Amino acid sequence: MKIGTIASHSALNIMAGAKAEGIETILVSTPDRVEFYDSYGLGSSIIEVSSWDEVLDLQLEDTIWIPHGSFVAYIGAERIINSDLRMYGNRQLLKWEEDRELKMKLLSESGLKIPREFQSVEEIDSPVMVKTYGAAGGEGYFIAKNKQEVLQKAPSDKKFSIQEYVVGTKVFVTYFNSYAMNRLEVFGADIRYETDADANLRFDDTPSFVVVGNLPLVLRESILLKYYELGKKFVNGFKSLAGQNIPGSFCIETIIDKNLNIIAFEFSGRIVAGTNVWIPSSPYSYLQFNEPMWMGRRIARELKQLEEMGRLEESLL
């Protein structure tokens, strides 16, 4: 078995994890990134390609691919789903993540609180966040304090959804769902530092929510427990809606308000870059393993155990 991914996002995390578990690595890279990744000792793992699409044609049968955010962004969820690459996790979930309606449906039918959604401008009775369809990285979103401001700012030619602007602390929690150990692990939490929303949010601006980095966050233990339950609900929710499992890593994006309500506005059905703050370990994974355990290593450990148990296939969805 080899573990492979493409050279971006959390590739260093994933590659180091595989190596720590004694698994061979494949890193698909464009020529401009080779020198950088080589500086982390990954030179012998690199397969050079002139365009990312070529990953779909690589005939490497003993390789298990780990899809990350850039993997999905560069290749596209649809093509990943239709490819015959062997991949860890549930790739159908990538489609639920991409589609705004499916995304909110999964969150709410799993029993998570979500921001109120206004069906028309007329209904607006609080500050809102307006999200245009197809926007990424918060680009093309705007905030408005009332109905009038939405009417002024809304593009007439684009489809958008209008959500209550939830005031509170943004908390991004990553889970690891282990089939080998038969347990859900709350792996770690982070805050995404977003420019320029986190720098100087003003309602007369159209601030950008582009992520520039991540800060580690250790939650109050009573809140951590709530997130454990939330993660369980999410996994069970997908089981009843789609009839499928979620093996491995996923992340739920939330805001905690002043009454300690946890409101979920998005999720990622794969490793997130927020886990890069937990190299070599998160406090929680350390408590579970008594040794350094970062997400890339957690994935490799799981794959190794599943292989030994002869149960690898059920986690390659």
Ligand X SMILES: Nc1ncnc2c1ncn2[C@@H]1O[C@H](COP(=O)(O)OP(=O)(O)O)[C@@H](O)[C@H]1O
294-317: b (≥16 Cβ within 10 Å) or e = bbbbbbbbbbbbbeeeeebeebbb
Does residue 193 belong to the site contacting ligand X (CB under 6 A)? Answer: no
First CA to last CA distance, the chain:
17
Alpha helices in the chain (DSSP H): 11-20, 34-38, 69-75, 77-82, 92-98, 100-109, 147-153, 197-200, 221-242, 283-289, 295-309
CB closer to ligand X out of 253 and 302? 253
Q: Which span sits near ligand X by CB under 6 A: 21-29, 87-95, 133-141, 215-223?
A: 133-141
Contact partners, residue 23, CB within 8 Å, separation at least 6: 1, 2, 3, 300, 303, 304
CB of 57 to ligand X, least distance (A): 29
CB closer to ligand X out of 260 and 309? 260
- By CB under 6 A, the residues from 208 to 227 that bind ligand X are 209
CB closer to ligand X out of 175 and 209? 209
Does residue 266 belong to the site contacting Mg ion (CB under 5 A)? Answer: yes
Among 42, 64, 166, 264, binds ligand X (CB under 6 A): 166
Q: Is the peptide bond before 196 cis (omega within 30 degrees of 0)?
A: yes
CB closer to Mg ion out of 137 and 155? 137
Using CB under 6 A as the criterion, what x/- string covers residues 82-121 for binding ligand X? Answer: ---------------------------------x------
Dihedral (CA of 300, 22, 294, 64) sign:
negative
CB of 201 to ligand X, least distance (A): 9
Spatial separation of the C-alpha atoms in residues 47 and 49, rounded to whole Å: 7
Does residue 265 belong to the site contacting ligand X (CB under 6 A)? Answer: yes
In terms of phi and psi (left: phi > 0; alpha: psi -120 to 50; beta: otherwise), the region of 102 is: alpha
Alpha helices in 201-254 (DSSP H): 221-242
CB of 289 to ligand X, least distance (A): 30
Among 8, 63, 163, 178, binds ligand X (CB under 6 A): 163
CA contacts within 13 A on the Cβ side of 90: 24
CB of 312 to ligand X, least distance (A): 31
Enumerate binding residues for ligand X (CB under 6 A).
115, 129, 136-138, 163-166, 170, 192, 194, 197, 209, 253, 255, 265-266
- Interface contacts to Mg ion, rule CB under 5 A: 266
